[in-house]
Amino acid sequence: MTQAYEPTTTGVSTSYGIPQQRTAEQPAPAAAKPGRDRYLDLLRSIALVRVVVYHLFGWAWLTVLFPSMGVMFALAGSLMARSLNRPARGVIKTRIRRLLPPLWAFSAVILVLMFADGWNPAKGSDEGPVWTLLKLVNYIVPIGAPPFPWQIGSPTGLVEDTWAVQTAGPLWYLRAYLWFVVASPLLLWAFRRAPWPTLLAPLGLTAVVGTGLVTIPGETGNAVTDFAVYGGCWVLGIAHHEGLLAKIPRYMSVSCSTLLMAFGLWWASGHLGPDGWDLNDIPLAQATWSFGFVVILLVYSPSWQELPGRLARWDKLVTLSNNRAVTIYLWHNMLIMATVPIIDRAYELPFMQGESATAALDATYMLWMFLLVWPLIGLAIVGVGWIEDIAAKRKPRLWPDGSKRGGGRGAAHRA
């Protein structure tokens, strides 16, 4: 995309080194407006799709193929560093304001469903009723882990009796994101004074708290581990914005990253969890693999202002997913489970009474879940996605895909 030159006070520009005088009849070209980096937007969209597919199929190898959470934290860290050109207090306030209203809508629904299903948070808790009730605050401000029942309802009900765990479990990401946002001014300050120690410190912390060398019990330990595992990726985002990665020869960045990723796979091979190669269960492997993977993605970052070539056909979906990233992340697990009672109704259809038809549906059940969850996510975007606009102090939009009816490209890409 061509960039218009910056008009000077003399009205003189150059082309191929030859001075050219702009005449009065030639209007000055408009200055190009800075926009979103579409390469980073594409990465975020891929990460969201991978999260949905992983939570649907549970394929452990997806955590190796594309470490979505590390990518998402790195992209958020880069955007946060860019925003910190403004006063830090206002930036943090804006980020938190944009996060909380979508969370409140989600929390209201899940809490109503859990209470309606008979959950009493003050009953049967090892931490005591008062402390458990106080932890409900985390459904409003995710500073810690919100309480939820591990089993609720009937095992033979419309959905699994572990639906609350699966629905509320992903809220850890919002907790980690909130703490990273609050810590970003300090991280940026430290990075500008000691870039390499700040960049590598989270990996060192992961080696301490993510391997059992030092054990921190309870949710505090989980929070510290999450901060350590993905802290390196967040600081990598800062390094990308600050230009550090661009100063390192690409061959050196890729070589060192490959060695680090190889170490992560080697470590994982000796510490496989209950789900095998699922890196979510192996903190040090997750940290090192994600770190190296993100470095390679960022050093090859082409900084697109428009998606090129065949990728352009996905422009509207990339814009939509970036404008509704919080909505998609919050609601996707609940919507995956909602596909089950819908598909189960198919067994009651007249032409499904034969054994062959039933067996065919059994064999393709997961495929039908995959196909059905995307329209349900679309309904969630229309139904509650506009809350993200209200939180960002924008005019509410039902389908912000960058088209004029969806709010326009400028509105869709506003930071």
Tens digit of pLDDT for each residue in 352-378? 888 899 999 999 999 999 999 999 999
- Residue 18 belongs to what H/E stretch? strand 18-21
164 contacts 119 by C-beta, under 8 angstroms: yes
Residues lower than pLDDT 70 in the chain: 1-35, 124, 405-415
Q: What is the pLDDT of residue 28?
A: 42
Q: What is the pLDDT of residue 353?
A: 83
77 contacts 235 by C-beta, under 8 angstroms: yes
Distance (Å, whole) CA 328 – CA 314: 17
Q: What is the pLDDT of residue 92?
A: 98
Q: What is the pLDDT of residue 406?
A: 57
Q: What is the pLDDT of residue 154?
A: 79
Q: What is the pLDDT of residue 412?
A: 38
Name the nearest CA neighbour of 67 among 43, 98, 41.
43
Which residue has 């065949």 as its token pair?
310
340 contacts 347 by C-beta, under 8 angstroms: no
For the entire predicted model, the pTM comes to 0.88
Q: What is the pLDDT of residue 239?
A: 98
Distance (Å, whole) CA 317 – CA 322: 8
Share of the chain above pLDDT 70, in %: 88
Distance (Å, whole) CA 177 – CA 230: 10
According to DSSP, the residues that pair with 308 across neighbouring strands are: none
Angle between helices 218-242 and 283-299 (to 10 degrees): 20
Q: What values do phi and psi take at 183, rounded to 5?
A: -85, -10
77 contacts 301 by C-beta, under 8 angstroms: no
Show the tokens assigned to 224: 């510290």
Distance (Å, whole) CA 316 – CA 201: 38
